[in-house]
Structure 1
């Protein structure tokens, strides 16, 4: 949908085509996981030493199999935490790549629609109007820019008389289509871009 900004003090969302994922949770959790690994290794070392020394002091001895089983369990848990951190970081990076690809596609659509608006044939300019309006529906971050382009087109002077030098056939219909598209979206924000009057 096309949205016209009515409040000039309202900040517009910015989009520069780049998206860097927020990795601060990974960098906070990773040192914590390393500290846990270090503490577990320290505990296992001293725990094993205490368990083995208990055999010589006459206390109930602990089997080597129990020590190995506990060690493997702790190491498996630590490995699972590190694997989860790696998977989370990879997912964030993949989302960033996807966001950049989407932004690139939208930028290409914008350039093509703007090029169509400057074409000599009225049918191509009409296609450019619909393409720009559809892009405004699909690109919330740059919606106002798309609307500004259409409004700037309306503000450009044009020749009404067919005998004038700058006269272009179909220009009146192109301008009326822009006005209808903006009017329809103001009256019915959920209306389809291609809805006819």
Structure 2
């Protein structure tokens, strides 16, 4: 998750500096500065006695009113900042828990982590690309694991479907909010084995393909973009089996 941005640090320093200046000015105006303000801003320099005291009190009253307004603005700022900090802290906790779930040896817990990450990506645009990178890394690292398929019942295809958790991660990538992707940064699936994946309706804009066959087995992957379906000869690779679509 991202930390405090530089512009926010500058804003915080500016607010603190403003508060310091206003506080010093208020102390000065409430003291000897009231007479100076009365003379140079109000143009009054011929009062004496009770009239002078009343005029000075009026100057101090205006200063207090201005200070009260500024204090209210500062309070609103810090309230909003604290709310944003609390929200970011909550997102960080959710993210940490989801990452822990992703590393579980239980399928249902891994699935919970994947869908929790999807929800965070939708709730926080600033974390969207990081989460897509995490899911892509999960697919790359585990798509070639020597693990028995977790599907039950007969399989109509001669090849097993993609492992359930990998399919879930791929589905999340395929239905992400594409406009939240960082410009010029592709979701890297290089080296992933996606045999049996279902990509119906997926938006793979900006997704880096696993690479030319045979580096990645793309046989029977459904809904793959045209550039992923080039033959081994077109991709410059070696034949790893029957052509796609047979």
Normalised to the residue count of structure 2, the TM-score between the two structures is 0.53
What's the secondary structure of 1:50's corresponding residue?
Answer: coil
Instruction: Give how far 1:23 is off.
Output: 4.7
**Which of 30, 42, 46 is the aligned partner of 1:50?**
46
Which of 1 and 2 has higher RCO (CA within 8 Å, sep 6+)? Answer: 1
> Is the alpha carbon distance of 1:167 and 1:82 closer, same or farther for their aligned partners in structure 2, counting shifts above 3 Å?
same
**Which of 50, 58, 78 is the aligned partner of 1:93?**
78
How far apart in 1 are the matches of 2:55 and 2:176? 66
Q: Matched residue pairs, number?
A: 163
Instruction: Give how far 1:40 is off.
Output: 3.0
Alignment of 1:157-168 (within 5 A): 157-158=142-143, 166-167=147-148
Instruction: Give how far 1:150 is off.
Output: 0.6
Please say if 1:40 is aligned against 2:25.
Answer: no
Instruction: Give how far 1:109 is off.
Output: 0.4
Instruction: Give how far 1:110 is off.
Output: 0.6
What's the secondary structure of 1:156's corresponding residue?
Answer: helix
Q: 2:12 corresponds to which residue?
A: 22
Structure with the higher fraction of residues in helix conformation: 1
Instruction: Give how far 1:27 is off.
Output: 2.7
Please say if 1:156 is aligned against 2:154.
Answer: no
How far apart in 1 are the matches of 2:55 and 2:116? 64
How far apart in 2 are the matches of 1:117 and 1:28? 46
What's the secondary structure of 1:120's corresponding residue?
Answer: coil
Please say if 1:123 is aligned against 2:108.
Answer: yes
> Is the alpha carbon distance of 1:98 and 1:187 closer, same or farther for their aligned partners in structure 2, counting shifts above 3 Å?
closer
RMSD: 3.7
Q: 2:192 corresponds to which residue?
A: none
Task: Note if contact 2:15-2:74 (Cα within 8 Å) is conserved in structure 1.
Answer: no
Large movers: runs of 4+ above 6 Å: 45-49
Normalised to the residue count of structure 1, the TM-score between the two structures is 0.64
Q: 1:113 corresponds to which residue?
A: 98
How far apart in 1 are the matches of 2:149 and 2:128? 28
For structure 2, the 5+ residue unaligned runs are: 152-161, 181-199, 202-246
For structure 1, the 5+ residue unaligned runs are: 1-13, 53-63, 190-195
> Is the alpha carbon distance of 1:188 and 1:141 closer, same or farther for their aligned partners in structure 2, counting shifts above 3 Å?
closer
